[in-house]
Amino acid sequence: MTRSAKPDRQLRLGTRQSPLAMAQAHEARSRLCAAHGWDESAVELVTVRASGDKIQDRPLADLGGKALWTRELDAWLAEGKIDGAVHSMKDVETVRPASLTIAAILPRADVRDVLVGAASIAAIPRGAVIGTSAPRRAAQMLNRRPDCRIVNIRGNVATRLAKLAAGEADVTLLAAAGLERLGQTDTGTALDSSDWLPAPAQGAIGIECRSDDAGVQAILAAIDHSPSHAAIRAERALLLALGGNCHSPIAALSVLTDGQIELIAALYSPDGAESVTGSARFDVGDDRVPGLLAKDLLVRATPGIAAVFAGGPERGS
CATH number at residue 122: 3.40.190.10
pLDDT at 65 over 80: no
**Residue 138 resides in a domain:** yes
Is residue 302 in some structural domain?
Answer: yes
185 and 209 share a domain? no
213 and 256 part of one domain: no
Are 145 and 283 members of one domain? no
If asked whether residues 117 and 137 sit together in one domain, one would say yes
- 167 backbone φψ class: left, alpha, beta (φ>0; ψ -120 to 50): left
Tell me which residues are annotated as active site. 91
How confident is the model at residue 57, as a pLDDT? 52
Total structural domains within the chain: 3
Alpha helices in the chain (DSSP H): 19-36, 51-54, 67-79, 135-144, 157-165, 176-181, 214-221, 226-242, 288-300, 303-306
13-53 per-position pLDDT tens digit: 999 999 999 999 999 999 999 999 999 999 999 998 755 55
Same domain, 84 and 210: yes
Confidence of residue 160 (pLDDT cuts 50, 70, 90): very high
DSSP label at 69?
H
Band of residue 316 on the pLDDT scale cut at 50, 70, 90 = very low
Please tell me whether residues 218 and 244 are part of one structural domain: no
CATH code (residue 257): 3.30.160.40
CA atoms of 246 and 61, how far apart (whole Å): 5
| 13 touches 30 (CB < 8 A) | no
Q: What is the mean pLDDT of the chain?
A: 90
Torsion region of 196: left, alpha or beta (phi above 0 gives left; psi -120 to 50 gives alpha): beta
- Output phi, psi for 256, to 5 deg: -100, 130
Helix (H, G, I), strand (E, B) or coil at 301: coil
Decide if 232 is inside a domain: no
Q: How confident is the model at residue 71 (pLDDT cuts 50, 70, 90)?
A: confident
Q: What is the CB neighbour count within 10 angstroms for residue 101? A: 18
Is a pLDDT exceeding 70 seen at residue 248? yes
Residues of the chain above pLDDT 90, percent: 82
39, 72 Cβ separation under 8 angstroms:
no
**pLDDT band at residue 6 using 50, 70 and 90 as cut-offs:** low
Rounded CA gap, 140 and 147, in Å?
13
Query: Model confidence over 187-217: pLDDT tens digits?
Result: 999 999 999 999 999 999 999 999 999 999 9
Q: In which band, very low, low, confident or very high, does the pLDDT at 311 lie, cut at 50, 70 and 90?
A: very low
Question: Is 94 found in the same domain as 121?
Answer: no
Residue ranges making up the domain that contains 30: 11-106+204-224
Is 231's pLDDT higher than 60?
yes
Residues with Cβ < 8 Å from 195, sequence gap 6 or more? none
Q: Decide if 198 is inside a domain.
A: no
Lowest mean pLDDT among 161-170, 232-241, 245-254: 245-254
Instruction: Say if residue 290's pLDDT is above 80.
Output: yes
Q: Do 85 and 218 belong together in one domain?
A: yes
> What is the pLDDT averaged over residues 81-85?
97
Instruction: Tell whether 81 and 167 lie within a shared domain.
Output: no
| 180 plus 43 within the same structural domain | no
**How many Å apart are CA 246 and CA 134, to the nearest integer?**
9
Position 234, amino acid: A
Is 152 domain-assigned?
A: yes
